Structure 1
Amino acid sequence: MESMERQVNPVIKDAVGGFEGRLITDARRDAESITSSLWDFGGQQVFYSMHHIFLTKSGVYVLVFDLRDLLQQEKGAVWLDYVSFWLGSIKLHAPTAPLLMVGTFLAENITKDDLKRFDSIIQNVAKTKFSNIVRNTQDGLLFFPIDNRERLGVFNLRTQLEYTIREDESVRQEVTIKWMLFLDNILLKRTQVSYITLSEAREMAVDLGITTISEQEQALRLFHQRGALIHLTSTDILKNIIIIKPQWLIDSLGKIICDPGLHADVVEFKNVGLEDDFNSTFNDALTTRDFLDYIWQGEPIDFLVDLMKRTFLLSEWNFTQGEPRFLIPSLLRSTCPDEARGIKCVFDFSKSFLPVGVFQRLLCLCVAIAAKSKLRILEPILFKDFCSIELQQNSKINLKTELSNIILFVENDKQSFRNFSIIQSMLRKINVDVLGTGLEWSEYMEDPKTGKLFSQSVAKSNQLAPWYSNPEVTEEIKIATVKNMELNSFLDNFQ
């Protein structure tokens, strides 16, 4: 330890000494300065399934929409879905974070009467979705109408945004000079690379006198929470990569979770022998490692695959002969034309919010369980809103999503409670690992004799058949869903 200190101290003295003098001078001049990071999510709906990775409890959110959509009646429903989705998602991940709503294209024949009417619409939507919206006091509105080209309303928005940021308590958190230097040195790498390895970060930290692993991880965790970088730690593969350009991750995932039109030149894939892989990816939501290698060439592919697995955006697919493939449920497009069969259990999210991507993640976990089975089971049947799958041999379930519900249909009565417990545990894990525990739902079980639905607590107390009538399942299946529980360990509980 002493020899390390002798090696490190001169570096600290030079770096911190020079930095300290500059810091004092800069602090006196720019004591009130604030630097903000801006993350831009794509407008494509397929991005909705992955946005949860980037939302944190801290920060200030800005929801931007096109005012012209409110002028056109035919676009009203689309606008409502868009705004409702983002209000619900932000409330789910950051219920206390301030939110500014911004309407663009103010100069496009928008009158004062239009603004009042828009404000009334927004008030009606917001009052049931999100309460911590920053008001536009200058214009007496709940939103900020602006026009970038004509610079209308921009100064007012910028002033209110800066004020809101300054009022955030987290902005005033003090850290040591060594931590500030540590972050500065990490972010200097942005000019060269989009990510660094954990070992590279540790070397930077040691050079600055941050020698213990616990302090290094504490600093990285703070940088992650503040949006300066992304450092995921649920597996060794993820932990080894520190993303210093968050937009790089959005862009990388957006190359595969995207509308197929993004890859307009199909001839390009035909020329490299990947035409079938392209069609399989965007027609059937089944991709290959060769296809991922091509679109992610030069990137840390194992990291990106592992990230998608651990956030339930991708699962292995080994139900067919030939090259192993991966399922990406958010690329499923067609809807199921048939009615589901079996007694049903309803997971009802109507009292809160069912985000886009939850059902797709549930499909991922179901496929992952089925793929781990050592017995021969049927190939799953998948649609955008439906799944028919054997979680174990001769125990087929059907899952369907509609409105604010996810509905489980069980075809084998003897496996009804076990299958309910599996789906319940999966939803809990998605909630803990991806959604910050903000998801809420109620559960209702069907009485097959009458077709009536009863709450899970009533069904349990009345020993409603077949859910609670089988003596082999009188004790509820307990599955650990602690945060960041290793995925394979979680899946092994069901084998």
Structure 2
Amino acid sequence: MSSSIPLHNAVRRRNLDQVQELVMSGADLGARDGKGQTPLMCAIASDCRLAADFIAKKMTFQDLNVVDNDGYNVFHMMAFFDCRWSQMMQDISDVCPTLFRQKDRAGQRPINIASVRSRYVYRILEQFEREQQKKQQQQYTTGIAENEEHPCNITITVVGHKGVGKSCFVRQLKKENIPEGGPGSTDTADVFVNYVGYNPNTGFRQQLNDDGEVETGRQRLKRLIDQHRKEQNIAVKPSADTSDRLPGQKEGSASPPTPPTVDASVLPARNKTDKEEVQQETVPQEQRRKQVSTSENTIQKKIPMEQKKVIQAVMRTKLDCDGAEEVKGYVTIYDFGGEKVFYNTHHCFMSSNMVFVLVFDVAMCLDPSRAEDGYERIEFWLRSIATYAIDRAAHGKGCPPIILVGSHLDLLSRNKEEQNRLFTSVLEKLYKKPELREIIETHVQEMFPIADLNDSTKHADVYQRVWTKIIEIAPLQSQWMKPVPARWVALEYELVRLKNSGMAMLTYAKLLGINKKLAVPLVEDDIREFLWKLKFFGSFLCFDLHSKRPFIILQPQWIINAFKSIITDPRFITELTIKQKLEWTAYEKSGVLPVTFIRQLWGRHEEFRFLEKAKYLYIALETLGLLSKPLSVDAEVNYFIVPSILQNADPKIICPVLDDPDTVKTVTLCLKFDNPFIPQAVWDKMIAACIHRFQRLEEPDLDGSKFIQRGFACLSVDCLWNMIINCCKDSMKVTMFKKDTDHSVPTGTGINLLNILKFLLQRILELNHQSHLGYRFYLHNDFRFAADDKMAKVEDLQQVQRLQCYGSNESRWIDRNDLYIWFINQNQKTQRTHMRQVDLTKALPDRKLSFKEIGRVSKYIGSTYQTFFAELDCPVALVEQEMEEHRHLSFRSRIAKIFVHYLRTKADTGFLAIADAMSRHRMDPSMLMDILDSNRNVMFIDETLPAEWLKKCLSGDDVLIIADHVDIKSYFNLFLELGVTPKTVDEFDVNYRNKKIRAKITALLEAFIKETNPRPTVNAILLAMQECDMDTQSLTAALKPA
């Protein structure tokens, strides 16, 4: 203190030479006198500008942050004493920009003091604050647009058989008390998203409270901005010899406010037009990154107030100085239920971007009566996790990493050494299987024997070692530290805020709206890439990603709760009525889940509001393959099939059909994975995909429901051919058959079907993070599986003329020609035989279809649409996208949508090609004659309606009446029939995407009536509705005058 007081005294005496001498000799510029004031504060109070200016330029951030006994900082003092030293204030704010916002003991900011004491200083501070906000917005937008983050998040997934102690283990990790008797079994799964924040460098961990994820999200953004500023060296450093005094100006005299300095990069070169502003949203991302710097006017115009508040909060966020306790990553914990019925649901959430903890019961493995089951469960989970091994990670170890935890050791012995010995004996037995030994050596990173898992007071040191090991092996996760754009982090932060507000689900339209308001919005392609990446991290769930309207589940536990309301172990279903119990029993036996029953089950949980989001839940469940709605062309199907609940397959059920003398079979195709273990969930989802796209086989005097069983289905491919799909372990067999007097099997019969099945399987693998799994094709003589199956490898058949194979009851030679039933013969030029009738060929026009004709032909395609479009060389992906995108429309309208999209790219496809495709799949191509305008009725036929009334022109008064009678699922076909182009309908779809469909139909009708010349008549609307199978009688009654 004594060394600093002289400096205070020198300032008060205005002795500038002594002030300079004391400062240069190292006087403490942050020292406080009796009033708590620093030398700079004394200079301000004494109106000693030269001394203040000299001292201020030497002070550090810490010195400037000192406050006096009243809580005043430097700016409080300058406001109180009316010090109009604008350049000094600018210099100080450059070093310590937070001074503007600091409050004194009375809760007053400097600008509040200035509003009372100095209007002049108030204007300076007000201007500085505005400029600081603009500068912060500039720093934020630049830092977000031109930077990337390397996430180091961890997802701990705890798996194992029921009753092994998984939930106890999770509670121990979370340091939660375990009640006497244990926490109880887990129903399906419990997920704790971003439950812990941690630092991978120091091992620091902290449980995040309700606002913790939002706060750490701000910290993530602030780190990115600070990192960018550091890399670009954009920090403004005040010059040491700059003076605020004008030439000839005396000390203490007032100077006019000097405008704050502005970075030249933010000055507008010229004014932008509104058109240019819009175009900026659509330029490629690599170009947009160069266009981030914008003018002040643009910043104010483009950034909404809510986003400005976010920027302000981020820029004010303080980071840990030494970084030791700085949260850099999140830890999410999945606790999976152990019952088998949950495995298909688990399959939807598992990925290579996880640290798996496999808990198993050591006592069970050493109990002779239960040992076999105990070891089988360990083997199942080890093999299942290994299917996610996409590559070899760092240091030769495998991805994903696994930790083994042995439980129930306290039931075997209280001696720790004996417990370790028993635990080791189980591991040694696992090692005896070569396949398991390879998995353990590759993926298992550590093994922990833990007794008394259900006792919260024991083994704290062990759980600390578990945490340490988890953090150590986390880099073996597949997405560890892989860069993501900082703008994705900003969008993710908005999702976290929405989640914390209680929102469970976010539609794509709302996501686009949120993105549009961001300081650095993403282009739409970037948004979709962001969603795919987000799906991998486990904190949010994304569905319907192949359509144009994906959606996000912000709270994974919410949708898990919806799943477990309908797919769970019976012991978790309580409080059902007697009738509901009977329905549940019927559902368990058949695997058929009526929509009405689903709504009852979801309606029991009003707090989750499942029924309000039922449409999206159905899409999620179907996308994941947990439910499947059977294909129907005409009537709406009012039930789902749950593949995992179906009865075990009995392939003999189809034998009576195959034994019929008129039944003709193809050689059986077998798809066999390279990995000998494939989860049953893959095949359940494959069956779900097939029964959603192909109709169930119907045979006289046989129960068709028996043709769909677990891993087994008999389905119709087209009007002639059927198929058997039989899945078991690592293989899927496909056999086509028909009943026909023609016993030939044409070359290429199965090619289109195989392409469809390959697409469906690849999509299932892709959605479940297993697309890296490879497979090979074989041919066989039996659709069933037998232990001694010998199959002919396709590659071998390409080298030799024939190979012998045998199955469950016979042997057969497979000929090379059998190969070309399923595969293209590359050595033979493909020549399609035209199957259409010669007379029909002459009658049909050799041109492409009009939009009206597309709408008309769509009603003739029916359930054979998959192979029909494949015959036209229409990509399977296009068919799938249109069917998913427009699931809200009628089947016929969805087919029309496919046609419209396909014919845009295949403009040369006309009537003749369509007739040929119909013929090949036993559809009647002569029906094409009925769709030609030249063969259509031009007057609506109803003897009760006067011709003059039918010729009456429609007016605006008729719109609401007509709209009320339009089938909302068939409106697309109606407007095609009225001559409206698909492009116009699509534009209305976009403009009315957030409004009720009836409002869209009304708007379309208004535009149609107004823009059609001559004005359309009652006759035109009735003919169009009749073509689309709508109720013309009720419309007629409504339109006719009383």
Q: Normalising TM by the smaller chain, what interval?
A: 0.7 to 0.9
* Residues 58-457 of structure 1 aligned to structure 2 (within 5 Å): 58-95=353-390, 96-110=399-413, 111-124=419-432, 126-129=436-439, 131-136=441-446, 142-145=447-450, 147-150=452-455, 151-152=458-459, 153-165=462-474, 170=479, 172=481, 180=489, 182-191=491-500, 192-214=502-524, 215-236=526-547, 239=550, 241-267=551-577, 270=579, 277-297=583-603, 298-299=609-610, 300-317=613-630, 324-336=638-650, 338=652, 341=655, 344-349=668-673, 351-371=675-695, 379=704, 381-412=707-738, 414=745, 417-418=750-751, 423-446=757-780, 453-457=791-795
CA distance in 1, matches of 2:560, 2:680: 17
CA contact (8 A) 1:313 1:329 kept: yes
CA contact (8 A) 2:349 2:768 kept: no
CA contact (8 A) 2:359 2:407 kept: yes
CA distance in 2, matches of 1:445, 1:428: 20
Q: How many residues align?
A: 483
CA contact (8 A) 2:540 2:555 kept: yes
CA contact (8 A) 1:64 1:103 kept: yes
Going from structure 1 to structure 2, the CA distance change for 1:185 and 1:47 (only over 3 Å counts) comes to same
CA distance in 2, matches of 1:252, 1:72: 37
CA contact (8 A) 1:375 1:393 kept: no
User: Helix, strand or coil: the match of 2:405?
Assistant: strand
> Which structure has more RCO (C-alpha within 8 Å, separation ≥ 6)?
1
Going from structure 1 to structure 2, the CA distance change for 1:197 and 1:117 (only over 3 Å counts) comes to same
Going from structure 1 to structure 2, the CA distance change for 1:267 and 1:296 (only over 3 Å counts) comes to closer
- Give yes or no for the alignment of 1:31 onto 2:352: no
Q: Shift in Å at residue 146 of structure 1?
A: 5.2
Q: Shift in Å at residue 233 of structure 1?
A: 4.5
- Identity of counterpart residues, as a percentage? 15
Query: What is the CA deviation profile of residues 124-146 of structure 1, one whole-angstrom value per residue up to 9, with x for unaligned ones?
Result: 4532446543433xxxxx45545
CA distance in 1, matches of 2:771, 2:531: 22
CA distance in 2, matches of 1:384, 1:167: 35
CA contact (8 A) 2:364 2:370 kept: yes
CA contact (8 A) 1:40 1:247 kept: no
Query: What is the CA deviation profile of residues 420-466 of structure 1, one whole-angstrom value per residue up to 9, with x for unaligned ones?
Result: 56545543443344443133333221258xx9631122335537277
Q: Shift in Å at residue 482 of structure 1?
A: 6.1
Q: Out of 23-32 and 86-95, give the one that drifted further.
A: 23-32
Going from structure 1 to structure 2, the CA distance change for 1:408 and 1:318 (only over 3 Å counts) comes to closer
Going from structure 1 to structure 2, the CA distance change for 1:226 and 1:316 (only over 3 Å counts) comes to closer
CA distance in 2, matches of 1:482, 1:255: 32
Structure 2 counterpart of 1:18: 313
AA at the equivalent of 2:778: Y
User: Helix, strand or coil: the match of 1:303?
Assistant: helix
Query: What is the CA deviation profile of residues 356-393 of structure 1, one whole-angstrom value per residue up to 9, with x for unaligned ones?
Result: 12222222233223239999999351222433333334
CA distance in 2, matches of 1:421, 1:173: 34
Going from structure 1 to structure 2, the CA distance change for 1:122 and 1:21 (only over 3 Å counts) comes to farther
User: Helix, strand or coil: the match of 1:82?
Assistant: helix
CA distance in 2, matches of 1:106, 1:400: 42
User: Helix, strand or coil: the match of 2:464?
Assistant: helix
| RMSD over equivalenced CA pairs, Å | 4.3
Going from structure 1 to structure 2, the CA distance change for 1:409 and 1:112 (only over 3 Å counts) comes to same
AA at the equivalent of 2:573: H
CA contact (8 A) 1:366 1:391 kept: no
* Structure 2: gaps (5+ residues): 1-276, 278-296, 391-398, 414-418, 604-608, 659-666, 739-743, 783-788, 803-814, 831-869, 886-893, 899-916, 922-1042
Going from structure 1 to structure 2, the CA distance change for 1:471 and 1:144 (only over 3 Å counts) comes to closer
Going from structure 1 to structure 2, the CA distance change for 1:375 and 1:47 (only over 3 Å counts) comes to same
Query: What is the CA deviation profile of residues 206-261 of structure 1, one whole-angstrom value per residue up to 9, with x for unaligned ones?
Result: 4441323345555544443322211234255861x321222222222222222344
Going from structure 1 to structure 2, the CA distance change for 1:254 and 1:417 (only over 3 Å counts) comes to same
AA at the equivalent of 1:232: F
> Which of 1 and 2 has greater Rg?
2
- Give yes or no for the alignment of 1:486 onto 2:881: yes
CA distance in 2, matches of 1:483, 1:163: 44
CA contact (8 A) 2:798 2:816 kept: no
CA contact (8 A) 1:57 1:97 kept: yes
AA at the equivalent of 1:414: V
AA at the equivalent of 2:369: E
AA at the equivalent of 1:123: Y
Q: Shift in Å at residue 30 of structure 1?
A: 2.2
CA distance in 2, matches of 1:469, 1:9: 62
**TM-score normalised by L of structure 1:** 0.80
CA distance in 2, matches of 1:26, 1:184: 23
CA contact (8 A) 1:52 1:435 kept: no
User: Helix, strand or coil: the match of 1:164?
Assistant: helix
Q: Out of 208-217 and 106-115, give the one that drifted further.
A: 208-217
CA contact (8 A) 1:58 1:94 kept: no
**TM-score normalised by L of structure 2:** 0.41
Going from structure 1 to structure 2, the CA distance change for 1:177 and 1:454 (only over 3 Å counts) comes to closer
Structure 1 counterpart of 2:66: none
Going from structure 1 to structure 2, the CA distance change for 1:459 and 1:428 (only over 3 Å counts) comes to farther
CA contact (8 A) 2:303 2:518 kept: yes
Structure 2 counterpart of 1:139: none
Q: Out of 457-466 and 191-200, give the one that drifted further.
A: 457-466
Going from structure 1 to structure 2, the CA distance change for 1:471 and 1:440 (only over 3 Å counts) comes to closer
User: Helix, strand or coil: the match of 2:541?
Assistant: coil
Going from structure 1 to structure 2, the CA distance change for 1:363 and 1:332 (only over 3 Å counts) comes to same
CA distance in 1, matches of 2:725, 2:471: 46
CA distance in 1, matches of 2:488, 2:824: 53
